[in-house]
Amino acid sequence: MAEAEIPARGSLPLDARLSQLLIREIIAGDYPPGSWIREQEVSARLKVSRASVREALRNVAYAGFVEIQPWRGAQVAQISRGELLDIFSLLAETYAKCAYWAADRFPAEHIPRLWELLDAAGRAVQGRSDPKEHFEASFALGQLIGRHSGSRLAYRMLVQVGNLALWQQSLLVPGSDHSYEQSLSAHRVLVSAIEAHEAEIAESAARMIVMITRRSLEDGAVGARRS
């Protein structure tokens, strides 16, 4: 496990920052599905109190990444096929709504950043590099759209469900090159629509991005885990 660093204080309490770190570690594969996260180990490793770790793990459980087992600790969740498809269905609708609002509300000064993230996603596809790079660039682009959708509630929902989807994508066998190219094309439509203030096109493109990934998983990646 790489050396961990608790996110900067900002306005968040310690337990919230610890939960962010633990979620990042789960997504990175430091804690595989079915493994245990022990309060004592985390407390010693990060030099924080067990009470803070306990509260952080409750937050992580609320986010869907672990299940708290009485007297045993926190076990990393093992997502079923049905739950996986539910995650992507929820993500599609939440992302679509954020994109619809962002088409009217997205600040013009941040549009170049959308294109930068789109270029990063494109380089990952064209270079046939680690699929995680494409997923992460796509996720960062979605976060930026959600942040500027004008709805804090929708943004929080998007990040929570999006983190679960990103985690599952990192665990499953990558989709075909064709699915990545389809996703990249849909991303281009999405960014162009937001820049042009075309809300309905942005909404449809955001939904299509998520459903392309879902179809890719349904077509053979579901249940095949990386070694």
pLDDT score recorded for residue 4: 67
pLDDT digit string, tens, across residues 87-114: 999 999 999 999 999 999 999 999 999 9
Mean pLDDT (whole number) for 13-38? 93
pLDDT score recorded for residue 82: 87
pLDDT score recorded for residue 108: 95
> Does residue 135 carry a pLDDT above 90?
no
| Percent of the chain topping pLDDT 90 | 63
pLDDT score recorded for residue 181: 85
pLDDT digit string, tens, across residues 174-224: 566 678 888 899 999 999 999 999 999 999 999 999 998 888 777 654 444
* Residue 225: CB atoms within 10 Å: 10
Task: Provide the pLDDT confidence category of residue 136 given band limits of 50, 70 and 90.
Answer: confident
The length of the chain is 227
The torsion angle over the Cα atoms of residues 163, 222, 127 and 227, rounded to 10 degrees, is 90
Instruction: Tell if the pTM clears 0.85, that is, is over it.
Output: no
Q: How far apart are CA 64 and CA 69, in angstroms?
A: 14
> Does residue 134 carry a pLDDT above 50?
yes
Q: What domains sit in the chain, N to C, each tagged with a CATH number?
A: 14-76 (1.10.10.10), 81-221 (1.20.120.530)
| Percent of the chain topping pLDDT 70 | 87
pLDDT score recorded for residue 43: 94
Q: How far apart are CA 188 and CA 196, in angstroms?
A: 12
Please say whether the dihedral angle defined by the alpha carbons of residues 64, 70, 75 and 81, taken in this order, is positive or negative. Answer: negative
Q: How far apart are CA 144 and CA 197, in angstroms?
A: 16
pLDDT score recorded for residue 213: 84
Angstrom distances, CA of residue 156 to CA of 38, 83, 160, 170: 27, 20, 6, 21
Q: Which residue type, as a one-letter code, is found at position 216?
A: S
pLDDT score recorded for residue 118: 92
> Does residue 61 carry a pLDDT above 90?
yes
Q: How far apart are CA 164 and CA 159, in angstroms?
A: 9
pLDDT digit string, tens, across residues 140-171: 999 999 999 999 999 999 999 999 998 988 78
- Residues 2-5: contacts with CB under 8 Å, at least 24 apart: 2/28, 2/30, 4/45, 4/46
Whole-number mean pLDDT of the chain? 87
